[in-house]
Structure 1
Amino acid sequence: MSSITKFIKSPNPLPTFFFSHGGPTFMYEDDSFGNKGAWNKIKNIGSKIKNNWKPDYIIVLSAHWQSSKNNLIEISTTNGKENELIYDFYGFPNYMYKEEFHSKNNKFIAGEISKKLKEFGFDSKLTNRGIDHGVWVPFKVAFSDYTTQTKPQPINKDLDLPTTSIIQVSLTFSDKDFDSNFKLGEILNFFRENEIYDESQQKYLKGMIICSGMSVHNLRDLGISMRQPSQVMPYVKPFNNLLKNIVEKEEDKLLKFNELQKNPILRQAHPTFEHFLPIIVASGVAKDSNLPIKELYNDEFASLGWGIYQIGDSPKL
C-alpha cells in the first residue's frame, strides 16, 4: 500500500528531460564557451513547459548535489520562502554572481517525495537548501528572458515560473553507485505518472522531472583540447554515440551502464561520474513505463558533450 494516501493516474503524463547544462556561461546565448544549439533547444523546451504543459511542480536533480551519506536522498525545502540561488562556481566575472532567477518550493510535495523514497528502502530527509547552478543556470535559459548582459531583471521581482514549484532532489552519496541512482529514477517516476492531492490547495498537483548533467564532462582536458588543432578530444564523439545507443536502443540500460564502468572511455569522458549520474536517473524513470528515450540534440566542444534527451512522449493536450 502506498504511503501517499490520495492520488490519481495522470491522463497526460509529462515527459522527463536530461539537460546538459555546461557552466555558468551557458546563461548567455552567444557566449563562446556555451553552446548555441543546446541553448536554443533548452529555450524551446522551456517555452513548452511554461506556456503549454504548465506542471504544478518540477522535480529536478543536478550533478552538483550528492547526499551526505550512503542510502540517503535529500530533498530541498525552503520553509515557504523562494528558492535561494547557490553560486557554486569560482573565478568567473563578477556579473555572473549578480544573476537572478526567482522560483518557489513546495514543502508538501517535498514531504511526499521523502515518504515515497522511504517506502522503497531509501533513507530520506528534507534539507533547507537553495538550488545550485546545475538547476538555475539551465532553468534561467528555459524560463526567463533577462540576464545582466542583455536586459535587467524587472523591478517587480515576480516568479519566473509563477504557477510551477521547483523541488531539487539529491543524487546518492557515491558517484559509482549506478544501481541506487537508477532505482531513484524508478521511484520518482511515480510523480510523473500520478497527480498528488494537496489538501491545502484542494487540487491534484501534476509534476514532471528534469535531470541536469553533461553527456561528456572532462574539465581536466579542457585546456589541452583548446590547444589542439581540432579542439575536440578524440573520446567525446565516440562516447556521445555510445551513450545515445544505450539510452535509445538497449533494453537493459542499467546492465549496460554498469558494464560501462569497466570501459576506459567512461573515465575519459567522465573522470568523476557526478555529471553522468543524472542520465542514469532519467533512464530509471523510463524503465517501468517502458518509455522511449530520444536524443533531441548533441554536439561536441573541446572535452564536453552537449547531449539533451527526452524521456517519454509529449502530451496531447
Structure 2
Amino acid sequence: MVPSLFISHGAPTLAIEDNDYTQFLQNLGRRITPKAIVIFTAHWESEITTISFKDDVYETIYDFYGFPEELYMMKYPATGSISIASMVEEKLKIHDIPAKSDEKRGLDHGSWVVLQLLYPNADIPVVQVSVNPYLIPKEQFKIGEALRDLGEKDILVIGSGGTSHNLRMIKWGQTTPEPWTVAFDDWLVDHVQNRKLDSLFHYEKLAPNARLAVPRPEHIVPLFIAFGSGEENKQPKLLHRSYQFGTLSHIVFEF
C-alpha cells in the first residue's frame, strides 16, 4: 500500500537544482515505490476532469518561458497506462463525477518536474489528470475520495501544485519567506494536520492572507484532491516545508 501525496512543484528550475528540497524529493522517491502514478497537475485546467489515455511515451511539454536552455533539453519519457486511466475514469463516474479522456496531451512541467526528481528512470506508468479550479474545495476533496482505494493497489496519487504561489510578488534571490506567506501556510498546515475540514474548505475567507498567497486557486486545488484520496482515518503528515524567492512555498503532505 502507498499513501497519497501533495507536492509543491515550485518553479520549473527545480528540475535542475540541487538543494535540500530536491534532495528530499529524491529520497522520497526511494522510500515510496508504486506500481503506477496518477498525478493531478495545476498546469492542466479543464471544466471536466480529463484523463490521459495512452500506453505509449508522453511528449515532454515546456509550458514556461525565459528559463535556462538546459530545462528545454530535458526529457521525461514516461509511458502512460490505458488500463489505469480506465480505472480512474470508472471510479469517478461511479461517484457521479464527470470525466473524459485525452489521447494526445504530453506531460506538463507540473508533472515532469516532480516526477523526474522522484523517479528519474521514468520506469513507472503515469496517468496525468486535469484540475478544474472553479470547483469549490469540498468538491475537489470528493474527486480525491472517489480514488481513495488506489493506494491499496500500490497506485500513487499525487496532487502537484503549491500552497503559497504568488508569482507576481516573487523576490528573486531572497532566501527567507515573506511573513504573510508563513502566516498563511501556518494556518493551512494546522488545518490539514488536524483534519479541520469545515474550516479548510473555506480557506479563502478564514485563512490569513489567503488572497495574497492564492491569487488563483489552480495550484491549491491538487492539495484538496490528494487529501481526499488519502486514508480516511490517517493523520496527515507534513513531510517538508521550505521556501524559495520569498513567496513560493515548497510543502509536501502525506495522506
* Common topology (TM > 0.5): yes
Tell me if structure 2 keeps the 8 A contact 1:74–1:126. Answer: yes
For 2:87, the equivalent position in structure 1 comes to 112
Amino acid in structure 1 at the alignment position of 2:5: F
Task: Give the structure with the higher percent helix.
Answer: 2
**Counterpart in the other structure of 1:75:** 51
Structure-1 residue corresponding to 2:16: 28
Query: Could you tell me which residue of structure 1 aligns to residue 179 of structure 2?
Result: 234
In structure 1, the partner of 2:77 is 102
Q: In structure 1, what is the Cα distance between the partners aligned to 2:203 and 2:6?
A: 19
Instruction: Measure, in 2, the Cα distance between the counterparts of 1:191 and 1:232.
Output: 35
Deviations 1:81-122 (A, max 9, x none): 102111111121222111011211100111121111111111
TM-score, structure 1 length as denominator?
0.75
Aligned pairs for 1:217-256 (under 5 A) are 217-222=165-170, 225-226=171-172, 232-250=177-195, 252-253=196-197, 255-256=198-199
Counterparts of 1:95 and 1:63, CA distance in 2: 23
The offset of 1:167, in angstroms, is: 0.4
1:127 aligns with: 102
One-letter amino acid matched to 2:180: Y
2:3–2:230 contact (8 Å) kept in structure 1: no
Q: Kindly indicate whether residue 142 of structure 2 is the aligned counterpart of residue 183 of structure 1.
A: yes
- Alignment partner of 1:170 out of 104, 109, 130: 130
Q: Spell out, residue by residue over 1:30-59, the C-alpha distance to the aligned partner (whole angstroms, 9 max, x if none).
A: 3xxxxx22211111011223xxx3x22111
- Return the letter of the residue paired with 2:65: Y
Distance 2:27 2:133 in 1: 33
Task: Quote the residue 2:156 is aligned against.
Answer: 208
2: CA distance, partners of 1:260 / 1:140: 31
Larger Rg: 1
Residue 205 of structure 2 aligns to a residue whose secondary structure is coil
Code of the aligned partner of 1:220: R
CA–CA distance in structure 1, aligned partners of residues 60 and 113 of structure 2: 10
CA contact (8 A) 2:239 2:254 kept: yes
Structure 1 gaps, min length 5 = 1-12, 31-35, 145-159, 196-205, 312-317
Match of 1:61 in 2: 40
TM-aligned CA deviation for residue 173 of structure 1: 5.0
CA distance in 2, matches of 1:97, 1:77: 25
Q: Aligned residue for 1:298?
A: 241
Query: RMSD value over aligned CA atoms?
Result: 1.9
Aligned CA distance change for structure 1 residues 85 and 226 (closer, same or farther; 3 Å): closer
Q: Secondary structure at the match of 1:309?
A: strand
| Residue-by-residue CA offset, 1:102-155 (whole Å, 9 max, x unaligned) | 2111001111211111111111111121111011001111222xxxxxxxxxxx
* Contact 2:10 2:249 (8 Å CA) reproduced: no
Q: Deviations over 1:259-284 (max 9, x none)?
A: 21114511111111111111111221
Q: Gapped runs of 5+ residues in structure 2?
A: none
Cα distance change, pair 22–61 in 1 and its aligned pair in 2 (3 A):
same
Runs of 4+ in 1 over 3 A off after TM superposition: 225-228
TM-score by length of 2: 0.92
- Residue 26 of structure 2 aligns with an amino acid whose one-letter code is K
Task: Report what 1:314 is aligned to.
Answer: none
Report % sequence identity: 31
The verdict on how the C-alpha distance between 1:246 and 1:96 changes in structure 2, with shifts beyond 3 A counting, is same
Deviation at 1:231, TM superposition (A): 5.3
